[in-house]
Amino acid sequence: MARRTKAEAEATRESILDAAIEVFLEKGVSRTTLEMIARRAGVTRGAVYWHFKDKNDLFTALAERARAPMAELADSIRESSEGNVLEMIHEVCRRVLKTFVDSKTQREIYTVLWSRCEYVSEINPSVERQKVLDAESMDQLTKDFETAKEQGLLRDSVDPRAATVALMSLMKGMSILWLRDPELYEMPRYGEEMLDYYFTGIRRH
């Protein structure tokens, strides 16, 4: 019985997050209330507060729902890598991009984060947390590029930090453009081609 109750609680939590995505997409984050989300999920406002203490807590959980699978995928590829760090980075980018394109949930959450989110005070803690996670990702990727340089895989003129900024900008930029207008270019095909151009440009030949 306890196991079923736990499963039911988790199902309710997920239904609230699903409802939050829908309402955030329709109204934007700042104009959405927990009451609206509760009505969309078909639960009481008390049920929402049982799972999430406020909108910031819910917004943080939503961002984590998108980030965690990507982080796990990257960690898995990193752990199984056979030594060529540059190929490992390239493979992480390809797989993350494909997951982003294939997953409706990923696309919807990132649409909320990138184009339906007005950074108001009530979600400041979540925004600050995302900044910390972004900084950690940037630091890890910079270390990977530094290792690639030590392995002699990068052109002499390539600075690891600049390579990191360029790659993160490329990944985010082409994702935002495609989310705004999926007819603009075919994904993941052109995304993978752009990654190939990038890695060809920094790789030692």
Task: Say if residue 142 is in the same domain as residue 176.
Answer: yes
Task: Say if residue 179 is in the same domain as residue 81.
Answer: yes
Q: Is the pLDDT of residue 199 over 90?
A: yes
Contact of 156 with 100, CB cutoff 8 Å = no
Task: Say if residue 40 is in the same domain as residue 108.
Answer: no
Task: Say if residue 48 is in the same domain as residue 60.
Answer: no
CB atoms within 10 A of CB 195: 20
Q: What is the CATH number of the domain that holds 198?
A: 1.10.357.10
C-alpha triplet 174, 63, 71: angle, nearest 5°: 70
Question: Position of tokens 């997953």?
Answer: 103
Q: Which of 52, 74, 89 is the last residue of a domain?
A: 52
Task: Say if residue 101 is in the same domain as residue 177.
Answer: yes
Contact of 97 with 191, CB cutoff 8 Å = yes
Task: Say if residue 164 is in the same domain as residue 123.
Answer: yes
- Structure token digits, residue 90: 């390239």
Average pLDDT over residues 115-128: 81
| Per-residue pLDDT tens over the stretch 41-52 | 999 999 999 999
Contacts for 9 with CB less than 8 Å, ≥ 6 apart = 51
SS3 label, residue 173: helix
Task: Say if residue 17 is in the same domain as residue 102.
Answer: no
CA distances to 34, 114, 117 from 124, in Å:
17, 15, 11
Predicted confidence band of residue 2 (pLDDT cuts 50, 70, 90):
very low
Task: Say if residue 130 is in the same domain as residue 180.
Answer: yes
Task: Say if residue 63 is in the same domain as residue 113.
Answer: yes
| Count of domains forming the chain | 2
Lowest mean pLDDT among 64-68, 145-149, 152-156, 164-168: 64-68
Structural domain range at position 128: 55-202
Task: Say if residue 31 is in the same domain as residue 62.
Answer: no
Q: Is the pLDDT of residue 28 over 60?
A: yes
Task: Say if residue 19 is in the same domain as residue 80.
Answer: no
